[in-house]
């Protein structure tokens, strides 16, 4: 009896002509995410991917596999040859383990999927046999409507028996939907925005603005940690870090106080746009959310959006904060995001921000500034580094 993780692929199998490319990318991501931890062969068989378990590290394997987009469920299985004796042994073993872990379980149902059409029994008959084995050996009853647990049997060339189906994130494998430049702050929202786009197959790189020495190095470390969390889901990523303080000082000196934030935002977008054009990013991603703060009113967003022709994704735009926080917790960025380090935007925060800026009005306010020069100077001092996620050896 061998242990293997069976990975269900959901949407991936529906992708028609692209299927092959998606699968290849998925296999690559799985291999990448399992780097540095013990595992056996990884292979594809009839719509599922299997990973051989070779040591006592199932929990770790599951955690890493949960970070691979394209996987819908992870099932820890027992794999045996497709013959009645071996299947019986596997069923007994898996039910024994299940009841040890969950002594309160009283009812079950057997569910069979028969990929090997040559096998002499049909799915119903196999399920009936499995049901019989469980009833004979354990103190549980059948309940086909609302069972405490299911005993699954995937019968192919080999047979896989399992009870648990652990939910993963689904989505599409990283890199199957272009490249995006995420404006990553240290807040709760932007990491979630990056996660959501990565989940749709976008390979995400990060751009962060700091106001050193007004903001500390530790604040930047915090953002790098968030980028690493995204890299764990996505791929090795490029981290662009830009000091926006000289720009902020110029705005502060020359522009109306109540427009400080919105004009800073426009400069962030100018720099993002330039990096995106120079490096062929397909889109820009932000954590903006309608109405959350003054700069994120429809007027505010219109004025920021006007800077770039790139497609800007704002995947959080219509979400409530509680729902964003829920995702942040689920993907483990929340605890990092709430660490109390200063953000560059709080350095020159206006007391009464302009809630209804217009493009013309803001352009007028920006007239004293040499925008191009400010952008260029900021980018000259930009630092670029790589953040590896699971590409890096286990720490
Ligand atoms: P977040 O939680 O992502 O910081 P927020 O609710 O604090 O978002 P804002 O501070 O108004 O909202 O920022 C809106 C968006 O602008 C962010 O989600 C992010 O994409 C981008 N942004 C803001 N500050 C920075 C920064 N210092 N570096 C990079 N991007 C930033
Ligand atoms: Mg913020």
3-state secondary structure the chain: CEEEEEEECHHHHHCHHHHHHHHHHHHHHHHHHCCCCCCCCEEEECCEEEEECCCCCHHHHHHHHHCCCCEEEEEEEEEEECCHHHHHHHHHHHHHHHHHHCCCCCEEEEEEEECCCCCCCCHHHHHHHHHHHHHHHCCCEECCCCCCEEEEEEECCEEEEECCCEEEEECECCCCCCEEEEECCCCCHHHHHHHHHHHECCEEEEEEEECCCCCCHHHHHHHHHHHHHHHHHCCCEEEEEEECHHHHHHHHHHCCHHHHHHHHHHHHHHHHHHHHHHCCCCEEECCCCCCCCHHHCHHHHHHHHCCCCCEEECCCCCCCHHHHHHHHHHCCCHHHHCCCCCCHHHCCCCCCCCCCCCHHHHHHHCCCCCHHHHHHHHHHCCEEEEECHHHCCCC
Substitution candidate for ligand 1 out of 189, 291, 323 with most atoms within 8 A of CB: 189
Residue 287 in marked binding region: yes
* Ligand 1 contact, 382 CB (< 6 A): no
* Ligand 1 contact, 190 CB (< 6 A): yes
Distance 190 CA to ligand 1 centre (A): 6
Number of the ligand closest to the Cα of 208: 1
Residue 171: closest CA among 345, 20, 8, 344: 8
* Ligand 1 contact, 241 CB (< 6 A): no
| Strand arrangement, sheet containing 311-313 | 311-313, 283-285, 179-183, 203-210, 237-243, 383-387
Substitution candidate for ligand 1 out of 181, 184, 190, 345 with most atoms within 8 A of CB: 190
Cα distance between residue 361 and residue 383, in whole Å? 33
Number of the ligand closest to the Cα of 220: 1
Residue 86 in marked binding region: no
Residue 119 in marked binding region: no
Number of the ligand closest to the Cα of 195: 1
Residues sharing a CB contact under 8 Å with residue 383, sequence separation 6 or more, in sequence order: 240, 241
* Ligand 1 contact, 305 CB (< 6 A): no
Cα distance between residue 53 and residue 61, in whole Å? 8
Whose C-alpha lies nearest to ligand 1, atom 10? Answer: 345
| Strands 48-52, 158-162: pairing kind | unpaired
Token pair 């959501």 is at which residue?
196
| Strands 48-52, 2-8: pairing kind | antiparallel
Phi–psi pair at 310, nearest 5 degrees? -65, 150
* Ligand 1 contact, 239 CB (< 6 A): no
Cα distance between residue 2 and residue 22, in whole Å? 28
Distance 187 CA to ligand 1 centre (A): 7
Residue 165: closest CA among 73, 57, 97: 73
Residue 192 CA: which ligand 1 atom is closest? 3
> For each successive 10 residues of the chain (395 residues), what is the average pLDDT?
92 69 91 93 93 96 96 97 95 97 97 89 95 97 97 96 97 93 96 97 97 90 96 94 96 94 96 98 97 84 96 97 97 93 75 88 97 97 91 49
Whose C-alpha lies nearest to ligand 1, atom 9? Answer: 288
The count of residues in the chain is 395
Residue 209 in marked binding region: yes
Residue 94: closest CA among 43, 150, 54: 150
Residue 314 in marked binding region: no
* Ligand 1 contact, 233 CB (< 6 A): no
Distance 368 CA to ligand 2 centre (A): 27
Number of the ligand closest to the Cα of 187: 1
pTM of the model: 0.93
Q: What is the CA radius of gyration of the chain?
A: 26
């Amino acid at each position: 009896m061998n242990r293997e993780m069976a990975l269900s692929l959901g949407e991936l199998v529906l992708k028609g002509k692209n299927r092959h490319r998606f699968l290849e990318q998925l296999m690559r991501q799985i291999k990448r995410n399992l780097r540095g931890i013990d595992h056996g062969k990884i292979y594809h068989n009839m719509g599922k991917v299997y990973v051989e378990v070779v040591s006592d590290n199932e929990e770790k394997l599951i955690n890493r596999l949960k970070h691979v987009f394209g996987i819908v469920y992870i099932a820890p299985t027992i794999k045996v040859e497709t013959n009645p004796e071996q299947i019986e042994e596997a069923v007994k073993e898996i039910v024994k383990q299940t009841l040890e872990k969950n002594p309160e379980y009283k009812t079950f149902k057997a569910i069979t999927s028969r990929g090997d059409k040559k096998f002499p029994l049909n799915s119903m008959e196999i399920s009936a046999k499995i049901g019989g084995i469980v009833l004979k050996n354990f103190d549980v009853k059948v309940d086909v409507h609302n069972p405490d647990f299911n005993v699954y049997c995937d019968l192919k060339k080999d047979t896989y028996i399992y009870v648990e189906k652990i939910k993963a994130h689904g989505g599409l494998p990283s890199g199957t939907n272009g490249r995006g430049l995420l404006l990553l702050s240290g807040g709760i929202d932007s990491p979630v925005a990056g996660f959501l786009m990565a989940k749709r197959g976008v390979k995400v790189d990060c751009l962060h603005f700091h106001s050193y020495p007004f903001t500390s190095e530790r604040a930047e470390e915090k953002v790098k940690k968030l980028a690493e969390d995204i890299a764990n889901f996505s791929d090795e990523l490029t981290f662009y870090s830009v000091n926006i303080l000289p720009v902020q000082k110029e705005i502060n000196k020359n522009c109306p106080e109540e427009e400080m934030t919105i004009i800073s935002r426009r400069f962030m977008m100018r720099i993002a746009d330039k990096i995106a054009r120079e490096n062929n990013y397909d889109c820009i991603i932000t954590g903006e959310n309608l109405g959350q703060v003054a700069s994120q009113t429809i007027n505010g967003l219109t004025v920021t959006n006007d800077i770039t022709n790139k497609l800007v994704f704002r995947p959080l735009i219509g979400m409530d904060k509680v729902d964003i926080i829920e995702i942040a917790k689920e993907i483990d960025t929340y605890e990092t995001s709430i660490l109390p380090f200063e953000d560059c935007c709080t350095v020159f925060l206006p007391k009464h921000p302009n809630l209804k800026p217009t493009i013309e009005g803001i352009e007028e306010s920006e007239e004293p500034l040499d925008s191009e020069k400010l952008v260029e100077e900021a980018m000259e001092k930009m630092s670029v580094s790589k953040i590896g996620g699971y590409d890096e050896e286990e720490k």
